Amino acid sequence: MSSSLITDFLHQAGRTAVIGGGLATELERHGADLNDPLWSAKCLLSSPHLIRQVHLDYLENGADIIITASYQATIQGFKAKGFSDEEGEALLRRSVEIAREARDLYYQRCAESSSDNGDDSRILKQRPILIAGSVGSYGAYLADGSEYSGNYGDAIKLETLKDFHRRRVQILADSGVDLLAFEAVPNKLEAQAYADLLEEENIITPAWFAFNSKDGTNVVSGDSIEECGSIAESCDKVVAVGINCTPPRFIHDLILLLKKVTAKPIVIYPNSGETYDGIRKEWGQNSGVTDEDFVSYVDKWCESGASLVGGCCRTTPDTIRGIYKILSSGQSPFSAK
């Protein structure tokens, strides 16, 4: 697909597009045990039906884009668990198949509902739906918290990162995703590695780069968001650039900084604002914002220039429904409460 994918998609949507919300935390809510270096990728093995259900939950709450359960799925990570390269590659492909199955099932339900006038709280609306293949950072594979610091040490060079990501990117691009989502990019070195890979491997699947920040000015490594955004802007394969896995309160300022260096559509899907302890592998209690507060930011983000909006860690189908409603009606979905 050409770089017009997102432009055409947004034109068809007629509004800001909605991205699904947190995957791992929803899987846990459905009973999955993710206490593992593979994190949500563990469910590709143990409970693919749960992944399909979470994708479906997001579609039925208004998402236009769902993101595969491959953020922490790496061939190297699977190998450490005793899988062969071939088995690891098959699991990556499976993450895409599951998302495609969820989309097909959703379209089937849309078709069935058109002849059923019964009351249904689900959003069953035939519309273009994109599947984004998630690519997590090198730090996500390490599962040592370095994805939240962006500090890989001096031993990790540009070529190291390109070699690490190359095969996974090729497989996801060839597995039927509509776009590649490079998520929670923590430093400009990894952004450059992704941009180089897309060019060198002549990946025709369009991509977005979503950086993560903890201060509203820089990505987590301390590199400026403007420098990082410039890398995305200069790569023809990148069709959108933005922020994910970042507290909502920082998003507005980050959008304004990105708009200085890129003319590409801005993609925004923050976390709930809760803090994650990468060492203890747990979320801080009561440190986030409510769905109502999260959704109250959405208008401001769109006014600032966001074209695609959703949620990341600890956001839920209810969060996504709130975003969908405010984007569809221009009114707070919580005002009647």
Across the chain, the runs of DSSP E, i.e. the strands, are 17-18, 65-67, 130-135, 179-185, 207-211, 238-244, 266-269, 276-277, 282-283, 306-309
Contact 99, 63 (CB under 8 A): no
Residues 6+ apart with CB under 8 A from 78: 38, 41, 87, 88, 91
The residue with tokens 């410039």 is: 230
The residue with tokens 């994918």 is: 5
* Alpha-carbon gap, residue 20 to 63, rounded angstroms: 5
Enter the DSSP assignment of 117.
Answer: -
* Alpha-carbon gap, residue 231 to 261, rounded angstroms: 9
Bridge-based pairing of strands 276-277 and 266-269 is unpaired
Number of residues that this document lists for the chain: 337
What are the distances in angstroms from CA 124 to CA 51, 107, 114, 237, 306?
A: 19, 8, 9, 32, 25
Element (H, E) at 46: helix 42-46
* Alpha-carbon gap, residue 14 to 192, rounded angstroms: 32
The residue with tokens 């984004």 is: 132
Residues 6+ apart with CB under 8 A from 230: 261, 262
* Alpha-carbon gap, residue 141 to 8, rounded angstroms: 34
Q: Is 228 annotated as a binding residue?
A: no
Contact 185, 219 (CB under 8 A): yes
Q: Binding site for Zn(2+): what residues are annotated?
A: 245, 312-313
- Binding-site sequence positions: 245, 312-313
